[in-house]
Amino acid sequence: MARVKSWVPRIGGLPREVTVLAAIAFCVALGFGIVIPAIPLFARTFGVSAFAASAVISVFAFMRLVSSPAAGWMVNRLGERNVMSAGLAIVGLSSLAAGFATDYVQLLLLRGIGGTGSAMFTISATALLLRVTPTEYRGRASGAFQAGFLIGGVAGPAVGGLVIGLSIRAPFFVYAGTLLAAFLVAVTLLPRLEQVETPETPADAEPIRFLPTLKLPAYQAALGANFANGFVFFGLRSSLVPLFVVEGLREGPGLAGVGFVVAAGLQAALLVVGGRTADHRGRKPALTIGLAVGLVSLVVLALSPNAGWFLVAMAVAGVSGAFLGPSPTAIVGDVARGHHGGSVVAGFQMMSDVGSIIGPMVAGLLLDAAGFPIAFSAGAVVTGLALVLALRMPETLDKGAAGATA
């Protein structure tokens, strides 16, 4: 049975597949971070409204959402590696074509196609990560995978500013290049990996089904946490924080960038701690800490009177992300028990996408109607509800497995 090349380094004793997936995640996030600032600017060159320009970003997230069930089905039928490689190719080729777009409709359609490929990549990569990683390492493996996304996502916008200076179309070509690199890593370092089974996988394993799994309190808690993550981190916070800094705190827009860097830096630094907590103390304690600290960060943010307290709130958000990142993913892996979990992972991913789509809309409506504190309070309510689900879930980590790595 083919395995990952022996020269690929291990991260903290994790399977080599985790290193490969983290490298792929870095390439994808780096390219995405480079292209995302250029998308609305490029769309505006076709003479469209600001709303139409923002729709080019929204269509990517929308297509990720609607194509996730099909992507989960494909993972179960075709294998993780095949779907991942196809997804990377679709996003890369659509980005390359978008760089040559001659009108707005072409750009919109191509970004929508890219969203479909993104769903295929994300779901297959997560399903593969969970299936090849033993129970006692899932928290740390999830943290390492997310660290690849986080580091690439932080570096991307910085590089993107330089690339846009060359040409408004250049970021699309660079994005295609980083996806090509991710594709090559996938097809060369993950040979026939869809056949690799973990020791806990039965020889006649069937794909685990979504609807029966949905009845499990632990899976419900993971879904709630991922919805809150999308609603707050990818939706509400990204849309409100820049406006809050300028209009609420009367500071320059650069402070928002500093806040995001502080949050991302602390999250990256503490992901190892969050992953180890999930693997040693349990998924439930790690998830509870992440949601509780996230709730605190939103309260502090809503009440921040100056730049200093704003940065404190963003730092607390980074700590929350370090625990909230690995634990829900590890819970999904525990629920799947090593089976082909394409549909279960797809449902999990869809909750984040729904949250990231709804979050900015709710934030905008509440901001217009009642101001920043109430708008941030919406995130606190969602996080609080997810915390309730986390408190009522049973522990899914096998205590024997946790003790073996303590």
Give average pLDDT by consecutive 10-residue segment, the chain, 406 residues. 56 80 92 84 85 80 91 87 94 96 94 94 90 86 88 80 83 94 89 51 59 88 94 78 84 82 87 91 95 95 91 94 91 76 83 85 82 89 96 84 51
**Terminus-to-terminus CA distance in the chain, angstroms?**
31
Q: What's residue 243's pLDDT?
A: 80
Q: What's residue 199's pLDDT?
A: 46
Q: Can you tell me the distance from the alpha carbon of 259 to that of 368, in angstroms, rounded to the nearest whole number?
A: 23
pTM, two decimal places: 0.81
**In this structure, what DSSP letter does residue 128 have?**
H
Evaluate whether 48 touches 104 at the Cβ level (below 8 Å). Answer: yes
Domains of the chain: 16-195 (1.20.1250.20), 210-398 (1.20.1250.20)
Q: What's residue 368's pLDDT?
A: 83
**In this structure, what DSSP letter does residue 337 have?**
T
DSSP reduced 3-state for 197: coil
**In this structure, what DSSP letter does residue 78 have?**
H
Angle between helices 50-78 and 80-98 (to 10 degrees): 160
Evaluate whether 311 touches 262 at the Cβ level (below 8 Å). Answer: yes
Q: What's residue 198's pLDDT?
A: 52
